[in-house]
Amino acid sequence: MTLIKINELSKLYYSIGELAKLLNVNPSLLRFWEREFKLIVVKKNNKGNRLYSVKEIQEINNIYQLVKIQGFTIEGAKKALKIKITDGAIDTKESVNTEEVIAQLEQIKQKLIRLKSI
């Protein structure tokens, strides 16, 4: 399974066929992901064919990473994409109470310690 190396892309736009070939998937899977993940492909040629920019390819790369490599379900990948971890900080599209998350993790930690000592 292959991720696209964004820094090695040489063109501004890639057709759906070229992108599918780079990822070794069917073009229909890319169209499916567009619908499921509500991706917007801004540019289309005169025939109406999709042309993917580097930014859009990065989004598809993220989906590919979650679904094909890490084995997430579509719903799980959608949730994972809502929370992005950048430089050790959580950047969310939804508001998350950090203190609440830490408290829940502490509770889980304590349960695991108790289970380990049994």
pLDDT tens, position by position, for the chain (118 residues)?
Answer: 667 877 778 888 999 999 999 899 999 999 999 999 988 888 888 888 889 988 899 999 889 988 998 888 999 888 888 876 443 444 544 445 667 778 888 889 999 999 988 8
pLDDT at 4: 80
The domains found in the chain, sorted by start residue, are 6-84 (1.10.1660.10)
For 36-106, strand residue ranges (E) read 43-44, 50-52, 83-86, 89-92
pLDDT at 30: 93
- Contact between 57 and 16 under an 8 Å Cβ cutoff? The reply is no
CA distances for 25 relative to 13, 36, 42, 82, 117, angstroms: 18, 16, 21, 24, 47
Can you say how many angstroms the Cα of residue 73 is from the centroid of all Cα atoms in its chain? 11
**Strand pairing report for 83-86 and 50-52:** unpaired
- The DSSP result for 11-26, as a single string, is SS-EEHHHHHHHHTS-
pLDDT at 88: 43
